[in-house]
Chain A
Amino acid sequence: MGNIFGTKKKTRVTEQDKAVLQLKQQRDKLKQYQKKILTVIDKDKELARKLLKEDKRERAKLLLKKKRYQEQLVEKTDKQLDTVEQLVHDLEFAQVEMQVLNSLKIGNESLKEVHKLFSIEDIEKIMDETREGIEKQKEIDDILAGALTTEDEDAVDMEFEEILRQSLPDVPQISDVDSSEIELPSVPTEEPKPKKEKIGRDPVSLAA
């Protein structure tokens, strides 16, 4: 038993624990007392019955009186037990509350520590610098975009379309597919009409 009086190592038993222990021991004693009285009551009841059979009425009555008194004792100890257990629970709960409070305190402390690490001025400075950085980047973007004239951009667009045209996919080979399966559109029955545009355009070109 290395822990008597906590001499060997740091004990985790608090003063409240000791108080709880003493109360619980009192509770145990009350329970033992009740057990004792209950057995006495049982015995008396048995005895009273026996006496009645033997027609010793007076003695039986006396015993029943004693039994009644004992029963009152049990009731009283019940009340005491209740009080003791109530106190035990209160003490235990108070300890739980204390632990919760301690945890909150620790949490609060560390939150404060973290907050200490950055001041409002620092944050404002950082935010300002960030804003400046963004603006600078925008300026650079503008300068780079502005380096090309509109003509250049037109040329770029044209080249882009040229490449696009060249890289269009080839027309698929007919031979790959069974021709009978392909449903071709029927030949138009009417004479095709010349497009209006063309008619309109020719005289202009002639005039020129």
Chain B
Amino acid sequence: MEFSWPWEYDFPPFFTLQPNLDTQKKQLEAWRKLVIDYCRHNKIFVLDVQESMPLFQNKTIDRQLSSEGIKRVLEILQENQQIEWCDKSKKQCFVYWKTPQEWGNLIYRYIIDKGMTNTVCTFYELTEGDDVKNEEFAGLDKSILLKALETLEASNKAEVIMFGGSEGVKFF
């Protein structure tokens, strides 16, 4: 299914930071929503921040958001805890269209439904296995998976196992 762009995407001024602060606030909010919707639709867990990507560049109207604009949008997202920088270079960020807590709950629900408590699972099995193909967390980025599992660990629902190159998780 094709992503349906919002009307703003075809509106040239949308790609230029508006001088009027009120207008700019609304503009940035629309951008924030667009980034989240776009990433959710395309199942993007880790965003490579590039000016040339279709998210920030509309070739049909020949407009693109400036790096300053991208920076502002990402700042807003970070304030909302919807992204987290992967490292200090700020070239990649995790996009949380679901929070790690929400991912954790979703995975735990799946485990309960399948009667897999008290069972050891590999990370591969949880995100790439044949059984999870139709689950929302299929293809989940490993770093986000780990964060999600940590939230489950905090509530004693799971325990991450790591030893000698083996990684997995046991659910309770």
Contact = CB atoms under 8 A, between A and B. Distances in A.
12 contacts: A1-B150, A12-B159, A13-B120, A13-B170, A17-B170, A21-B122, A21-B161, A21-B166, A22-B166, A24-B168, A28-B124, A28-B125
Contact of B168 (A5, A12, A21): A21
Contact of A12 (B121, B128, B129, B172): B172
A174 to B, nearest CB: 82
A13 B162 contact: no
Secondary structure type dominating chain B contacts: strand
Contacts of A60: none
Given A1-B150, A2-B153, A18 B161 contact: yes
Contacts, number: 54
Contacts of B130: 31
A25 interface: yes
A11 interface: yes
Contacts of A12: 159, 170, 172
A92 interface: yes
Interface string A4-31: 1100000111000110111011011001
Interface of A: 1-5, 11-13, 17-18, 20-22, 24-25, 27-28, 31-32, 92
A120 to B, nearest CB: 42
Contact of B122 (A4, A5, A13, A24): A24
Given A17-B161, A25-B167, A31-B130, 9 more contacts: A1-B146, A2-B153, A5-B163, A12-B170, A21-B122, A24-B125, A28-B124, A28-B125, A28-B129
Nearest to B124: A28
A13 B150 contact: no
A6 to B, nearest CB: 9
Range of interface residues on B (Cβ < 8 Å): 20 to 34
A31 B129 CA distance: 9
A144 to B, nearest CB: 67
B163 A18 contact: yes
B95 to A, nearest CB: 22
B153 A3 contact: yes
Contacts of B172: 12
Contacts of B120: 13, 17, 20-21, 24
A1 B166 contact: no
Contact of B162 (A1, A22, A24, A28): A1
A13 B159 contact: yes
Contacts of B146: 1
Nearest to A92: B119
Nearest to B154: A2
Contacts of A2: 153
